[in-house]
Chain A
Amino acid sequence: MSSEALVEIRDVNFAYGKRPILKGMNLTFPKNKVIAVMGGSGCGKTTLLRLIGGSIKPTSGHVKVNGQIIHELDRAGLYAMRRKMGMLFQFGALFTDMSVYDNVAFQMREHTNLPEEMIRDLVMMKLHAVGLRGTHDLMPAELSGGMARRVALARTVALDPMLIMYDEPFAGLDPISLTVVGNLIRRLNDALGATSIVVTHDVQESLKIVDYLYFVAEGVIIAEGTPDEIRASTKPFVQQFVNGEMDGPVPFHFPGGNYKKDLNL
Chain B
Amino acid sequence: MIAAITENLTGIGRRVVGAVWRIGHGTRFLGLILFHSGTSFRRFRLTVKELFFSGVMSLIIILVAGMFVGMVLGLQGYETLKRYGSESALGSLVALSLVRELGPVLAALLFASRAGSAMTAEIGLMKATEQISAMEMMAINPIARVVAPRFWAGVLAVPLLAAMFSVMGVFGGYIVGVVLIGVDEGSFWSQMQSTVDFRYDILNGVIKSCVFGVVVTAIALFEGYDAPPTAEGVSGATTRTVVESSLAILILDFILTALMIQEG
Say whether A and B bind each other.
Answer: yes
Q: Is the CB of A93 within 8 A of B139?
A: no
B139/A111 in contact, CB under 8 A: yes
Q: How far is the CB of A176 from chain B (nearest CB, A)?
A: 24
Is B136 engaged at the interface, CB distance under 8 Å to the other chain? yes
Q: Is A89 among interface residues, defined by CB-CB distance under 8 A?
A: yes
> B133 near A89 (CB under 8 angstroms)?
yes
Shortest C-beta distance, A144 to chain B (Å), equals: 16
Chain B residues with Cβ under 8 A from A78's Cβ? Answer: 139
CA distance A125 to B179 in the complex (A): 65
Interface membership of A136, Cβ < 8 A: no
B8 touches A (CB below 8 Å): no
A68 CB-CB contact with B under 8 Å: no
| B193 close to chain A: CB less than 8 A | no
* Interface flag for B240 (CB, 8 Å): no
Please name all residues of chain A whose beta carbon is closer than 8 Å to the beta carbon of B125 when the two chains form the complex.
96
* B57 interface residue (CB < 8 Å to A): no
Task: Report the minimum CB–CB distance from B226 to chain A (whole Å).
Answer: 17
Whether the pair A93, B145 counts as a contact (CB closer than 8 A) is: no
Cβ-defined contact, B138 with A107, below 8 A: yes
- On chain B, the residues within 8 Å of A86 by CB distance are 137
Interface residue ranges of B113-166 to A (CB < 8 Å): 122, 125-126, 129-131, 133-134, 136-141, 145
* Chain A positions 18 through 51: 1 when the CB is less than 8 Å from some CB of chain B, otherwise 0: 0000000000000000000000000000000000
Tell me which residues across on chain A come within 8 A of B130, comparing CB atoms.
Answer: 89-91, 93
Q: Is there contact, CB below 8 Å, between A93 and B131?
A: yes
Any B CB within 8 A of the CB of A80:
yes
Selected contact of A80 from candidates B133, B139, B140, B141, CB within 8 Å: B139
Which of B129, B137, B141 contacts A53, CB < 8 Å? B137
Q: How far is the CA of A53 from the CA of B140 in the complex (A)?
A: 13
- Residue from the list B122, B129, B136 in contact with A55, Cβ < 8 A: B136
Bound CA–CA A89/B131 (angstroms): 9
A107→B137 CA distance, assembly (Å):
11
A-B contacts at CB below 8 angstroms, number: 46
Query: When the two chains form their complex, are residues A87 and B131 in contact, meaning their CB atoms are under 8 A apart?
Result: no
Contacts of B134 in A (CB 8 A): 87, 89, 93, 95
Q: Is the CB of A110 within 8 A of B140?
A: yes
B138, A110: Cβ atoms closer than 8 Å = yes
Q: Determine how close the nearest CB of chain B comes to the CB of A166; give it in whole angstroms.
A: 12
Within 8 Å CB of A79, what residues of B? Answer: 139, 141
The smallest beta-carbon distance between A120 and chain B, in angstroms, is: 19
Chain B residues near A94: list those with CB within 8 A: 131
A107-B136 Cα distance, complex, nearest whole Å: 11
Distance, CA A118 to CA B106, complexed state (A): 48
Distance (Å) between the CB of A85 and the closest chain B CB? 7
Kindly state the separation between the CA atoms of A86 and B138 in the bound complex, as whole angstroms: 7
Give A55 Cβ to nearest chain B Cβ, in Å: 7
Q: Which residues of B contact A97 (CB under 8 A)?
A: 122
A232 CB to closest chain B CB (Å) equals 36
Asked if B140 contacts A85 (CB within 8 A), the reply is no
Instruction: Tell me whether A235 is interfacial, beta carbon within 8 Å.
Output: no
Cα separation A115 to B65 with both chains bound (whole Å) = 46
Contacts of A93 in B (CB 8 A): 129-131, 133-134
* Distance to closest chain A CB from B143 (angstroms): 12
Q: List 14 A-B contacts (CB under 8 A).
A: A79-B139, A82-B137, A83-B139, A86-B137, A89-B133, A91-B130, A93-B130, A95-B126, A95-B134, A96-B125, A96-B126, A96-B131, A110-B140, A111-B140
Given pairs A87-B137, A95-B126, A96-B125, 19 additional interface contacts (CB within 8 A): A53-B137, A55-B133, A55-B137, A82-B138, A82-B139, A83-B139, A85-B137, A86-B137, A87-B134, A89-B130, A91-B129, A93-B130, A93-B131, A93-B134, A95-B134, A96-B126, A96-B129, A110-B145, A111-B139
Q: Lowest 4 A-B CB distances belong to which pairs? A: A82-B139, A93-B134, A93-B130, A79-B139
Q: Which residues of B contact A (CB under 8 A)?
A: 122, 125-126, 129-131, 133-134, 136-141, 145
> A-side interface residues toward B, CB under 8 Å?
53, 55, 78-80, 82-83, 85-87, 89-91, 93-97, 106-107, 110-111
